[in-house]
Amino acid sequence: MFHPTLKIKIYQEDLVFGPGLVILMEHILVTESMKDACGEMGMSYSKGWKIINRAEKELGYELLERRHGGKSGGKCMVTEKGKSLMKRYRQMEKETRDCLQKSFEKYFPEYQRIR
Protein backbone atom coordinates (compact mmCIF):
# COMPACT_ATOMS: atom_id res chain seq x y z
CA MET A 1 0.00 0.00 0.00
CA PHE A 2 1.17 3.53 -0.71
CA HIS A 3 2.04 5.55 2.37
CA PRO A 4 4.04 8.68 3.16
CA THR A 5 7.08 8.72 5.44
CA LEU A 6 8.90 11.49 7.19
CA LYS A 7 12.03 11.77 9.36
CA ILE A 8 12.10 14.61 11.85
CA LYS A 9 15.51 16.12 12.50
CA ILE A 10 16.10 19.12 14.75
CA TYR A 11 18.86 21.54 13.74
CA GLN A 12 20.52 24.60 15.17
CA GLU A 13 23.35 25.23 12.71
CA ASP A 14 24.08 21.50 12.50
CA LEU A 15 21.97 18.48 13.36
CA VAL A 16 21.22 18.42 17.09
CA PHE A 17 18.96 15.39 17.31
CA GLY A 18 16.74 13.16 15.28
CA PRO A 19 15.59 9.56 15.02
CA GLY A 20 19.10 8.10 15.29
CA LEU A 21 19.81 9.77 18.62
CA VAL A 22 16.39 8.85 20.00
CA ILE A 23 16.74 5.20 18.95
CA LEU A 24 20.24 5.06 20.46
CA MET A 25 18.92 6.50 23.73
CA GLU A 26 16.04 3.99 23.74
CA HIS A 27 18.57 1.16 23.44
CA ILE A 28 20.69 2.67 26.23
CA LEU A 29 17.57 2.93 28.41
CA VAL A 30 17.15 -0.85 28.11
CA THR A 31 20.78 -2.03 28.08
CA GLU A 32 22.37 0.64 30.32
CA SER A 33 25.40 0.25 28.07
CA MET A 34 26.67 2.37 25.20
CA LYS A 35 28.61 -0.61 23.86
CA ASP A 36 25.57 -2.91 23.87
CA ALA A 37 23.25 -0.23 22.48
CA CYS A 38 25.65 0.50 19.61
CA GLY A 39 26.07 -3.23 18.96
CA GLU A 40 22.30 -3.71 18.72
CA MET A 41 22.13 -0.88 16.19
CA GLY A 42 25.14 -1.97 14.13
CA MET A 43 26.82 1.32 14.98
CA SER A 44 30.41 1.83 16.06
CA TYR A 45 30.98 2.68 19.71
CA SER A 46 32.84 5.86 18.76
CA LYS A 47 29.98 7.02 16.51
CA GLY A 48 27.51 6.47 19.34
CA TRP A 49 29.53 8.68 21.66
CA LYS A 50 29.98 11.27 18.91
CA ILE A 51 26.19 11.52 18.45
CA ILE A 52 25.56 11.81 22.20
CA ASN A 53 28.39 14.29 22.83
CA ARG A 54 27.36 16.55 19.94
CA ALA A 55 23.73 16.61 21.10
CA GLU A 56 24.70 17.31 24.71
CA LYS A 57 26.95 20.17 23.61
CA GLU A 58 24.22 21.75 21.47
CA LEU A 59 21.44 21.21 24.02
CA GLY A 60 23.51 22.39 26.98
CA TYR A 61 22.68 19.47 29.25
CA GLU A 62 23.58 15.81 29.74
CA LEU A 63 21.47 13.14 28.11
CA LEU A 64 23.34 10.31 29.82
CA GLU A 65 24.66 9.72 33.30
CA ARG A 66 27.97 7.91 32.91
CA ARG A 67 29.30 5.48 35.49
CA HIS A 68 32.81 4.44 34.64
CA GLY A 69 33.93 0.83 34.72
CA GLY A 70 35.28 -1.05 37.62
CA LYS A 71 34.93 -4.58 38.83
CA SER A 72 31.42 -4.95 37.38
CA GLY A 73 32.00 -2.61 34.42
CA GLY A 74 30.56 0.79 33.64
CA LYS A 75 27.07 1.74 32.68
CA CYS A 76 25.11 4.58 31.13
CA MET A 77 21.69 5.72 32.19
CA VAL A 78 19.44 8.16 30.40
CA THR A 79 18.91 11.30 32.50
CA GLU A 80 15.47 12.67 33.31
CA LYS A 81 16.05 15.48 30.78
CA GLY A 82 17.06 12.83 28.24
CA LYS A 83 13.88 10.83 28.92
CA SER A 84 11.82 14.00 28.54
CA LEU A 85 13.51 14.78 25.20
CA MET A 86 12.79 11.25 23.95
CA LYS A 87 9.15 11.39 25.05
CA ARG A 88 8.50 14.80 23.50
CA TYR A 89 10.26 13.79 20.27
CA ARG A 90 8.12 10.64 19.98
CA GLN A 91 4.93 12.62 20.71
CA MET A 92 5.82 15.21 18.07
CA GLU A 93 6.70 12.42 15.65
CA LYS A 94 3.31 10.74 16.16
CA GLU A 95 1.35 13.98 15.74
CA THR A 96 3.34 14.81 12.61
CA ARG A 97 2.82 11.32 11.19
CA ASP A 98 -0.95 11.55 11.83
CA CYS A 99 -1.10 14.95 10.11
CA LEU A 100 0.99 13.66 7.20
CA GLN A 101 -1.35 10.68 6.75
CA LYS A 102 -4.41 12.96 6.67
CA SER A 103 -2.76 15.23 4.09
CA PHE A 104 -1.76 12.22 2.01
CA GLU A 105 -5.35 10.94 2.04
CA LYS A 106 -6.62 14.40 1.07
CA TYR A 107 -4.21 15.03 -1.81
CA PHE A 108 -3.72 11.46 -3.08
CA PRO A 109 -7.05 9.67 -2.54
CA GLU A 110 -6.53 7.49 -5.60
CA TYR A 111 -3.64 5.72 -3.86
CA GLN A 112 -5.71 4.66 -0.86
CA ARG A 113 -7.23 1.69 -2.66
CA ILE A 114 -4.05 0.38 -4.26
CA ARG A 115 -2.43 -2.46 -2.35
Task: Tell how many helices (H) and how many strands (E) occur in the chain.
Answer: 4, 4
* 74 pLDDT higher than 90: no
Q: Please tell me the predicted confidence (pLDDT) of residue 71.
A: 66
pLDDT of residue 1: 81
Q: Where in the chain are the domains?
A: 10-111
Residue at 54: amino acid letter: R
Mean pLDDT for the stretch of residues 63-67: 94
**Helical (H) or strand (E) element with 114:** none
Q: Vertex 47, ends 25 and 5: CA angle to 5°? A: 60
Q: Does the predicted model carry a pTM greater than 0.85? A: yes
Q: Who wins on pLDDT, 41 or 14? A: 41
Phi, psi of 25 (to 5 degrees): -65, -35
Q: Give the CB-side neighbour count of residue 106, counting CA atoms within 13 A.
A: 6
Q: What is the mean pLDDT of residues 63-84?
A: 88
Given this model, what pLDDT does residue 91 score? 98
Average pLDDT over residues 59-67: 95
Confidence of residue 47 (pLDDT cuts 50, 70, 90): very high
Q: CATH classification of 10-111 is 1.10.10.10, yes or no? A: yes
